[in-house]
Structure formats: structure tokens, C-alpha cells
């Protein structure tokens, strides 16, 4: 963010753009006032109905998850209360239809206006990719292509020919090829920018080589989920457009993370998720595999092995069902941008762990997580750290950037700050969906007041 005394009209910020930031901040403040007034009005008009509406949301979401993670006729027991809850929601919504519509509009206006103001104020990430600098076109760019990743995206988007049009050398990864060796050879032959068109696991392997050789890395979202590309601010649907990073891009340094001797770009998961990833059917039918395996796991105690690790300010916290260690913390507190990382350069690991004891616990956790802070349950812990160690008495199943591994403990995680030079196209956003989210709280309202007055914000929105 800007320093307290910085002027609003910094380079790259014309007076016209600064006025737009001020107008957006004013619109967000007006919307916030409308939200407060409408909320108080709804409480005053029908307090009992509002309480019942929130209770109905709980019942509907709880029932949905109970149906998902249980088998047999017992699943049908939640159908009557779920139906009654849906009827109650529709009834309340009809009675308060005008207030609900206006409230939804006010929330939307606040979200868009506040996000615009936060992302376009001076020194924001949206102005010029956060801590990035313009990069010269690659002298010798190499793109490694996994033709089987993402259901054959490389062929559908004709990546080989598109790369050649930009004077980028394409290298096709064969089924028996070693990706790391292929990347090493490309750098040895003189590549100064090396890209990977594939999934997140492949991105991690090539990023490890780029880190070791100190060459720039380009992520081309040709995988299935492409979480790394999303957090880099790339348009995951514009596979060909990602190639512009070789010729007209900006470059910055981001963190990598290491699990023992393995580099990862997204996260390592232990517990329930890791068990599902180990399944042979997972890669071809992810949702179907979850649906098939989750009820079986929930019928017994859902903890993973005998994992031991230290939790800050907590003693005897054991029985973890799920542990996720991420390269930079995920945003998990708000709907917008949930599951993405606001920053990739904090120099810290994000650690999330929860313990569950059956289907009801899973449904309760997920349901309360949609309408309240999960941490209040006491079964969830989230923190950040430079290092993290997991101990166990037997090999541990790990999902590392979606790849299934079985590793001998202890598992030692460490953040590698600024380890990777990464390039993205100049015209991409350069930030993840979680960056710039602006929760409706006192701190951010004060920041919007300052922006509306033409001053630098003292709060950093959702960052």
C-alpha cells in the first residue's frame, strides 16, 4: 500500500483514473450505508422470521452434505426437514422480496465498487503486477508440452504451432520421458525462459529446474484444474494467451515450497484428500471418486494415520482428519476468492488442519463454515509458518499438487521465499481472485473513506 503521505497522483495514475477510484469508494460507502439500513429494517420488521431463515440455511446445507457423505436409507431421514427448510426460505424471501432484492443489489455494488477502488488505487497490484517489472522478450524460449494433460488441451489449442509462431521452441513430453531431465537439457542448451503446458504437478517439476538454474518460468494452463495459473492471475480459459509471457510479459519473484526434497507450487495434503488421490480412478473421475470413497471413510474415525505435529498455542491437539500445507496461505474466510491465495510472496507456509469424527461432524463443519467462522468450533486450526514438520510411525499418503505419493516420515515442509522468477503476460491481471477482496468491516470502511477523500488507504482491504 501507499505510504501515509504519498500523493494520490503517482506515475501511472492519471487524474481521471484517480477520480474513478474516488467515485468507486463513494459508491461503496453509499452501498454499505444501504446494507446497514436494510439489515436493521429486516430485523425490526420480522426478527423471528430472520432467525428462522438463517436456521433454514443451516438445515439445507447440512442436509445436502449429509446426503453426500452417507449411504443407505438413513440418508433419506434428512429429506423432510430439508424440504420444510426450503419452504421456509421461500416464504421468508417472498414476504421480504423487495428488501431481499435491494439488499442483494447493495451487496453486489459494494463488492464491485470496493474491489475496484482497492485494486486501482496507487501502488496497488492491479496497476502493474505486484512487485513486477517489464521483461525483455525471451532470447531462447522453450515450452514443454504435455499432450495428455487436461484431456488433450495442447492439441485442441494447437499449442505446438502457436509456440512456433512466437519463436518459442516446443518440446513434446512423451509417456516415458523424464520431465525434469527434459527441462534440464533445455536450460543446458541455452533456454533463458522455460514454460510448461500441463497440470500443477508438472508445473512444480519445471519450476524446480527454473529455480535451480535461475531462469524465468512461464505457466501455461493446459492442465485440468490449473490452480497455480489462477493464483498467478492468468485467464485459465486463454491457454494460447499465456504464451505472450515469452514475448510481452512482466516478471516477478514468487515463493516455492519444499516437502523433504520435493518442490511444490500449490499445496500438500494429508488425510482424507490424500486417500482419495491415491485411488486409481481419481484422475479420470475426480467427483465420482469422492462420492464413492467419502462415505466409507466417514463411517469410521476420519483421521489420517497417527500424524503428530505442533499447533501454536494449543496442547494435545491430535486426531487430524485433514492437513493442508500450502505455498503461501489460502483465503478461507470469505466466499469471494475462497480457496485461492491473495499473495505468492509472503515467504510463509499456510497450514490448515481439522479433525472430524464421522459424517455428522463433516456436515456440521461445512455448514457452519458457510455462515460463521469455522475456527470457533475448536476442530479447525489455521496459521502460517516458515517451517512445519509432521511426524508419524508409518509411511504417509500425500497429495502433492494433485500427485499421489507415499512418503516416509518425518515430513519437513519449508518455504523458499522469492525462489522462482515467474513471467505472466503484460495484459493479465497478475493477481488471484482472493487479492483485493474487501470485507465489510470497520477497518476497510475507514480505508474507503480515505480513498473517497483522495487520500491513500491506510487499510489493505482483504490482503
pLDDT of residue 347: 96
Of the ranges 61-70, 269-278, 295-304, which one carries the lowest mean pLDDT score? 295-304
Per-residue pLDDT band at 378 (split at 50, 70, 90): low
Distance of alpha carbon 228 from alpha carbon 264, whole angstroms: 10
**Does residue 52 or residue 304 have the better pLDDT?**
52
In the block, cell 527434459 appears at 182
Mean of the pLDDT values across residues 140-159? 94
Class of domain 267-416: mainly beta
Grid cell at residue 28 = 461503496
pLDDT at 305: 57
Rounded Cα gap, residues 241 and 444, in angstroms: 35
C-alpha cell at 379: 476442530
Residue reference for cell 490452480: 227
Dist CA 184 CA 298 (whole Å): 44
pLDDT of residue 54: 82
pLDDT at 70: 66
pLDDT surpasses 60 at 389: yes
Residue 16, judged by CB atoms within 10 A of its CB (0-12, 13-18, 19+), counts as exposed
CA 301 to chain centre: 28
Give pLDDT, residue 62: 77
Cell of 44: 425490526
Question: Topology of 133-256+419-425 in CATH?
Answer: Rossmann fold (3.40.50)
- Read out DSSP for 408-424? PSPEEEEEEEEEEEEEE
For residues 344-364, average pLDDT:
76
Residue 463 in contact with residue 261, Cβ under 8 Å?
A: no
> Which of helix, strand or coil describes residue 166?
coil
Local structure of residue 239 (DSSP, 8 states): T
- The helix/strand/coil state of 19 is helix
Which range of 70-74, 108-112, 119-123, 366-370 scores highest in mean pLDDT? It is: 108-112
- Whether residue 94 is predicted with pLDDT greater than 50 in this model: the reply is yes
**Angle formed by the axes of helices 97-120 and 15-45, nearest 10°:** 150
Would you kindly state where each structural domain of the chain is located, as residue ranges?
Answer: 15-129+439-452, 133-256+419-425, 267-416
- Residue of higher predicted confidence among 184 and 61: 184
**Residue 416: per-residue pLDDT:** 98
What's the confidence (pLDDT) of residue 413? 98
Calpha distance 144→157 (Å, rounded): 15
What's the rounded mean pLDDT across residues 340-348? 93
Among 93-107, 186-200, 327-341, the least confident range:
327-341
Q: What's the 3-state SS for 101-135?
A: HHHHHHHHHHHHHHHHHHHHCCCCCCCCCCCCEEC
Grade residue 42 by pLDDT with cuts at 50, 70 and 90: confident
Task: Name the pairing type of β-strands 216-221 and 411-425.
Answer: parallel
Asked if residue 106 has pLDDT above 80, the reply is yes
Q: What is the pLDDT of residue 175?
A: 85
> Which segment of 26-35, 71-80, 197-206 scores lowest on mean pLDDT?
71-80
% of the chain at pLDDT higher than 70: 78
Residue 160 clears pLDDT 50, i.e. is over it = yes
Answer yes or no: is pLDDT of 233 > 70.
yes
DSSP summary character for residue 177: -
- The DSSP annotation for 355-415 comes to -B-SHHHHHHHHHHHHHS-GGGGSSEEEEEESEEEEB-SS-EEEEETTEEEEEPSPEEEEE
Residue 329 pLDDT greater than 90, yes or no? yes
Dihedral, 226, 229, 234, 240 alpha carbons, nearest 10: -60
Please, are residues 267 and 401 in contact by the beta-carbon 8 Å criterion?
yes
* 200-to-86, 106, 204, 222 alpha-carbon distances in Å: 39, 38, 6, 9
Check whether 23 has a pLDDT greater than 50. yes
Band of pLDDT at residue 287, cut at 50, 70 and 90: very low
Q: Which of 349, 337, 336, 424 is nearest to 131 (CA)?
A: 424
User: For the residues 413-425, what does the mean pLDDT come to?
Assistant: 97
User: Average model confidence (pLDDT) for the chain?
Assistant: 82
Alpha helices in 138-225 (DSSP H): 153-156, 159-165, 179-188, 200-213
Chain centroid to CA 243: 23
Q: What is the mean pLDDT of residues 190-212?
A: 97
Pairwise pLDDT comparison (439 vs 197), residue with the higher score = 197
Q: Distance (Å, rounded) from C-alpha 438 to C-alpha 434?
A: 10
Q: Is the pLDDT of residue 463 over 60?
A: no
In this predicted structure, the answer to whether residue 136 has a pLDDT above a threshold of 70 is yes
Of residues 305 and 303, the one with the higher pLDDT is: 305
43 and 96 in contact (C-beta within 8 Å)?
A: no
* pLDDT on residue 303: 45
Coil, strand, or helix at residue 306? coil
Residue predicted with more confidence, 452 or 368: 452
- Which of 41-55, 88-102, 373-387, 409-423: highest mean pLDDT? 409-423
CB environment 201-222: b (16+ within 10 A), e (fewer)? bbbbbbbbbbbeeebbbbbbbb
Amino acid at each position: 500500500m501507499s505510504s501515509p503521505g504519498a500523493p494520490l497522483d503517482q506515475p501511472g495514475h492519471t487524474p481521471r483514473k484517480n477520480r474513478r477510484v474516488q467515485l468507486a469508494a463513494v459508491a461503496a460507502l453509499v452501498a454499505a450505508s444501504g446494507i446497514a439500513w436494510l439489515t436493521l429494517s429486516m430485523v425490526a420488521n420480522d426478527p423471528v422470521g430472520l432467525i428462522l431463515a438463517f436456521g433454514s440455511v443451516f438445515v439445507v446445507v447440512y442436509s445436502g452434505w449429509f446426503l453426500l457423505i452417507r449411504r443407505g436409507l438413513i440418508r433419506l431421514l434428512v429429506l423432510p426437514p430439508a424440504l420444510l427448510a426450503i419452504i421456509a426460505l421461500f416464504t421468508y424471501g417472498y414476504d421480504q422480496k423487495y428488501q431481499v432484492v435491494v439488499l442483494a443489489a447493495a451487496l453486489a455494488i459494494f463488492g464491485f465498487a470496493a474491489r475496484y477502488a482497492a485494486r486501482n488505487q496507487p501502488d496497488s497490484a492491479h496497476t502493474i503486477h505486484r512487485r513486477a517489472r517489464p521483461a525483455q522478450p525471451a532470447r531462447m524460449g522453450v515450452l514443454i508440452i504435455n499432450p495428455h494433460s487436461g484431456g488433450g488441451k495442447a492439441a485442441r489449442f494447437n499449442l505446438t504451432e502457436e509456440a512456433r509462431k512466437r519463436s518459442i521452441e516446443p518440446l513434446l513430453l512423451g509417456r516415458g520421458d523424464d520431465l525434469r531431465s527434459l527441462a534440464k537439457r533445455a536450460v543446458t542448451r541455452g533456454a533463458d525462459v522455460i514454460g510448461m503446458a500441463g497440470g500443477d504437478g508438472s508445473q512444480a517439476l519445471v519450476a524446480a529446474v527454473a529455480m535451480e538454474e535461475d531462469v524465468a518460468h512461464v505457466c501455461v494452463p493446459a492442465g485440468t484444474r490449473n490452480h497455480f495459473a489462477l493464483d498467478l492471475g492468468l485467464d485459465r480459459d486463454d491457454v494460447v494467451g499465456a504464451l505472450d509471457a515469452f514475448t510481452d510479459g512482466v516478471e516477478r519473484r514468487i515463493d516455492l515450497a519444499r516437502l523433504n526434497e520435493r518442490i511444490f507450487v500449490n499445496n500438500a495434503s494429508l488425510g482424507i484428500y490424500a486417500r482419495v488421490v491415491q485411488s486409481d480412478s481419481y484422475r479420470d473421475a475426480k467427483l465420482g471418486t469422492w462420492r464413492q470413497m467419502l462415505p466409507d471413510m466417514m463411517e469410521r474415525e476420519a483421521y489420517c494415520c497417527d500424524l503428530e505435529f505442533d499447533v501454536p498455542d494449543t496442547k494435545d491437539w491430535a486426531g487430524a482428519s485433514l492437513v493442508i500445507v500450502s505455498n503461501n496461505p489460502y483465503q478461507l474466510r470469505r466466499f469471494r476468492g475462497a480457496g485461492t491465495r491473495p499473495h505468492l510472496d509472503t515467504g510463509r507456509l499456510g497450514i490448515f488442519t481439522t479433525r472430524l469424527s464421522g459424517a455428522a461432524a463433516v456436515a456440521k463443519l461445512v455448514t457452519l463454515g458457510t455462515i460463521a467462522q469455522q475456527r470457533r468450533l475448536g476442530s479447525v486450526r489455521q496459521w502460517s509458518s516458515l517451517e512445519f514438520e509432521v511426524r508419524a510411525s508409518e509411511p504417509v499418503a500425500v497429495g502433492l499438487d494433485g500427485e499421489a505419493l507415499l512418503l516416509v516420515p518425518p515430513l519437513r515442509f519449508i518455504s523458499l521465499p522469492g525462489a522462482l522468477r515467474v513471467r505472466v503476460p503484460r495484459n493479465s491481471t497478475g493477481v488471484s481472485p482472493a487479492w483485493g477482496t474487501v470485507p465489510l468491516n470497520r477497518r476497510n470502511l475507514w480505508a474507503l473513506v480515505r480513498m473517497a477523500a483522495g487520500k491513500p488507504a491506510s487499510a489493505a482491504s482483504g490482503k
